[in-house]
Structure 1
Amino acid sequence: MKQGIRSGMVGGFGFSFSSLMLYLTYALCFYVGAQYVHEGKSTFKDVFRVYFALVFTAFGISQTSAMASDSTKARESATSILALIDMRSKINSTSDEGIKLDKADGNIHLNHVTFKYPSRPDVQVFSDFTLGIPSRKTFALVGESGSGKSTVIALLERFYDPDSGTISLDGIELKNLTLSWLRDQMGLVSQEPVLFNDTIRAKHSIRKTRRSYGRGDYHCRQGSQRS
């Protein structure tokens, strides 16, 4: 509430100051110009040339002043975005190091996991959280928004590592598995799908470099994406 009032006051002052500058420029140009023409020191052509130059300059300054409150928000947003861009992940997604299992059964175990998002260090998502997910079973995580359902998926795919505790697949900690192999074993369908700027066939072939076009057409027909 106080922040909104303060922002409104700054915006109102900027708009008032910009309007004042604009009208003062009008008055000053015509007053000084009239004096110069009367004394023969200038012509109407030169007066209007200077007038338009000053008016456009004042207009630019007034527009900038009116957006003073927005510029502060933009600076704060840019700072947070640049900090995120400059952040270096501790997880190397291009590394081929680690174990590749011949077959993944799918037994998942989260053991005494504690986790906070790096961007929200004051919010404790998991504290000593333990969960076992057996293979070949349908398992559902149900809870209100913000309870950590999506966080479990993010940790399983190693978008993040837990602050403490371990997460294992078939008895092997995820950190010891090859990351690209681990993610190849999973399929994720989010509630808000992301559409890439490409054909449906190309989208079905993502991460499946050896998939034939016939196989892709089959999946499209199965999903009612092609008649």
Structure 2
Amino acid sequence: MGTADLQTLMNPLRQLLGLFVSQAVLSFFSSFALAVATTEFGRRLRMMYYEASLRKDIEKYDESRTGEMTHQLSQDIGSLQTAVRTAFSRGVEGVTSILSGSVYLYMASPKLATAMFCILPVMAGAAHLLGVLLRGLSDEIRRASNNATGIASETFGAIHTVRAFGAEDRELERYGKELQHVSELKLLMALTAGGFYSALHLGINLITLLICGFGGHLVSQGELTRGGIASIVTQVQILERSMARISVVSAQLVKAFRSSEHIFDAVHDQPRVNTAAGGLGLLLPVDAVKGRVSFSNVRFAYPSRPDVEVFESFNLDIKPGQVIALVGASGSGKSTLGALLKRFYDVQDGSVSLDGVDVRNLDPQSLHEIVGVVSQEPVLMGTSILENLRYGKPDATMDEVVAAAMAANAHDFIEEFPDGYHTQLGERGALLSGGQRQRIAIGRVILRDPSILLLDEATSALDNESERIVQEALDKLMHIKKRTTIIIAHRLTTAAAADLLVVLDKGKIVEMGTHQELLALNGAYAKLYRVQQSAE
């Protein structure tokens, strides 16, 4: 072989090599760009959904399970990411192949292409009907999967109760039934989709048969060559693979978008209360708050139970610096008043005001800085003791944290841990006892230093010794500075020292006065007090 012949051979090889290298480089950058785009898409959507979930009205949480929300945050958005990635990688390629192939077929034989394209609308209609069916099935699968996840999340969160009642087998059965329902629905979807894909392939093959028959007729008429029909059949096979690829991608997109509809609904839902920093409303400096709280002609029913009114026309005025205790049987409305003051819910009529300003006109962040809460079962984060104490004041110095812990009678037991204030508490503060969690919660509020203090049955779940220690911490909290304090009391011993006791029954005030005055009255409060004294 001469030099000229070798050069003639190498030139195309070099060109092919350059083409292959260029293709590899472009493929790498396209794959990388697609990965970056879909990853960023998933991150942004998760952040948007998480923010929307954090800021949605409390009443929405009453109607949903946290397990469902975490499933939506992880699984549903993950499925949508995968579907979008597949649509761009395989779907675009399939659509391009179909368009270019269709143009080629029409240029090769307009009559044959026209005959073939007359069948495509029928197939497209069948695909649409399948999409409707798959959307319904996908919605059912999503609900069933969320229910199963919610059951598991609920069980894990209450594992001590489950273990105490030996209910593991019952929870397994409950979860298994829901999981079986999910499996049955997924099997039905698989059968439906499989039947459609089989019908799709059969339809494509029938089109190939049509081409062979009608193409043979065109060859006999001299309108098409044998080579032309062979190339058309090859192109149809390429179209078949592309259409199959598109059908798979479309089914995934249908499923993903259907299961993600509620995510986009949540993202676009506007909460009634804007809890974002700097939200709409009046800003009140904590130091300028006097602490007068007024409930005026309040009518309220929980959104989840709109037919059951908690208050019909409730009135109560709390003076600045006053320590008031709300007492009464369970369900009388004590905790509801605290929820209305924190504006977890809005009244249907009347108003709840702070220093004469309706809480609905206050900036929510400002309101939460003014009103500090110690609840019956305080929730601690699965981080360190230090971070939990700083939860209400992230910029607090270590000296301030220690001072707050000492005031809450928590410093001594914190120092007993090997890591001290840096001890990791585990989920919901599982490492601590009930009294220790309560004292951490009190220290958290002391550090925040609110102008109004709301104690929601803060000692009712404790034993006598823990109650004594926590009560000492609460007394310090109430008297570190003169502040309005609302005590929601189940144990009347915690309410006896209040300036004013308000006795509630079915959303109405039945008695008001000091501890001694109400005992002398020998009414509802005296009856409750005697019952508790005899029980102890």
> Normalising by structure 2, what TM-score?
0.27
Aligned to 1:99: 282
Aligned to 2:351: 166
Deviation at 1:68, TM superposition (A): 11
Judged with a 3 Å threshold, the aligned counterparts in structure 2 of structure 1 residues 176 and 71 are, in CA distance, closer, same or farther, namely: same
Task: Decide which structure has the larger Cα Rg and report it.
Answer: 2
Q: How many residues matched?
A: 153
Percent identity (aligned): 35
Deviation at 1:101, TM superposition (A): 2.5
Mapping of residues 77-116 of structure 1, within 5 Å: 89-94=271-276, 96-102=279-285, 103-116=288-301
Aligned to 2:319: 134
Code of the aligned partner of 1:118: P
Mapping of residues 37-116 of structure 1, within 5 Å: 70-71=177-178, 89-94=271-276, 96-102=279-285, 103-116=288-301
Aligned to 2:329: 144
Judged with a 3 Å threshold, the aligned counterparts in structure 2 of structure 1 residues 70 and 119 are, in CA distance, closer, same or farther, namely: farther
8 Å contact from structure 1 (residues 205, 216) kept in 2: yes
Judged with a 3 Å threshold, the aligned counterparts in structure 2 of structure 1 residues 68 and 109 are, in CA distance, closer, same or farther, namely: closer
8 Å contact from structure 2 (residues 340, 347) kept in 1: yes
Code of the aligned partner of 1:163: Q
Aligned to 2:39: none
User: Comparing 212-221 with 173-182, which one deviates more in the overlay?
Assistant: 212-221
Judged with a 3 Å threshold, the aligned counterparts in structure 2 of structure 1 residues 165 and 197 are, in CA distance, closer, same or farther, namely: same
Aligned to 1:192: 377
Judged with a 3 Å threshold, the aligned counterparts in structure 2 of structure 1 residues 67 and 155 are, in CA distance, closer, same or farther, namely: closer
Judged with a 3 Å threshold, the aligned counterparts in structure 2 of structure 1 residues 204 and 67 are, in CA distance, closer, same or farther, namely: closer
Deviation at 1:172, TM superposition (A): 1.0
Deviation at 1:210, TM superposition (A): 2.3
8 Å contact from structure 1 (residues 167, 173) kept in 2: yes
Structure 1 CA distance for aligned equivalents of residues 387 and 178 of structure 2? 42
Structure 2 CA distance for aligned equivalents of residues 178 and 68 of structure 1? 43
8 Å contact from structure 2 (residues 274, 280) kept in 1: no
Structure 2 CA distance for aligned equivalents of residues 114 and 135 of structure 1? 24
SS for the counterpart of 1:187 is: strand
Structure 2 CA distance for aligned equivalents of residues 120 and 209 of structure 1? 37
Structure 1 CA distance for aligned equivalents of residues 294 and 389 of structure 2? 30
Residue-by-residue CA offset, 1:39-81 (whole Å, 9 max, x unaligned): xxxxxxxxxxxxxxxxxxxxxxxxxxx9799549x99xxxxxx
8 Å contact from structure 2 (residues 292, 354) kept in 1: yes
Judged with a 3 Å threshold, the aligned counterparts in structure 2 of structure 1 residues 201 and 140 are, in CA distance, closer, same or farther, namely: same
Structure 2 CA distance for aligned equivalents of residues 136 and 150 of structure 1? 20
Residue-by-residue CA offset, 1:19-42 (whole Å, 9 max, x unaligned): xxxxxxxxxxxxxxxxxxxxxxxx
Structure 1 CA distance for aligned equivalents of residues 408 and 343 of structure 2? 29
User: Comparing 186-195 with 91-100, which one deviates more in the overlay?
Assistant: 91-100
Structural RMSD (CA): 2.7
- Consecutive unaligned residues in structure 2, runs of 5 or more: 1-172, 183-261, 413-536
1:216 counterpart = 2:391 = no
Aligned to 1:24: none
Aligned to 1:44: none
Structure 2 CA distance for aligned equivalents of residues 203 and 132 of structure 1? 34
SS for the counterpart of 1:141 is: strand
Q: Runs in 1 of length 4+ with deviation above 6 angstroms?
A: 66-69
Select the residue among 308, 314, 337 that pairs with 1:123.
Answer: 308
Deviation at 1:196, TM superposition (A): 1.4
Structure 2 CA distance for aligned equivalents of residues 182 and 140 of structure 1? 21
> Normalising by structure 1, what TM-score?
0.60
Deviation at 1:186, TM superposition (A): 1.2
Structure 2 CA distance for aligned equivalents of residues 69 and 201 of structure 1? 41
Aligned to 1:35: none
Judged with a 3 Å threshold, the aligned counterparts in structure 2 of structure 1 residues 218 and 124 are, in CA distance, closer, same or farther, namely: same
SS for the counterpart of 1:92 is: coil
Of structures 1 and 2, the one scoring higher in RCO (CA 8 A, sep 6+) is: 1
Judged with a 3 Å threshold, the aligned counterparts in structure 2 of structure 1 residues 212 and 68 are, in CA distance, closer, same or farther, namely: closer
Code of the aligned partner of 2:385: I
Aligned to 1:79: none
Deviation at 1:217, TM superposition (A): 1.5
Deviation at 1:225, TM superposition (A): 2.4
Deviation at 1:123, TM superposition (A): 1.4
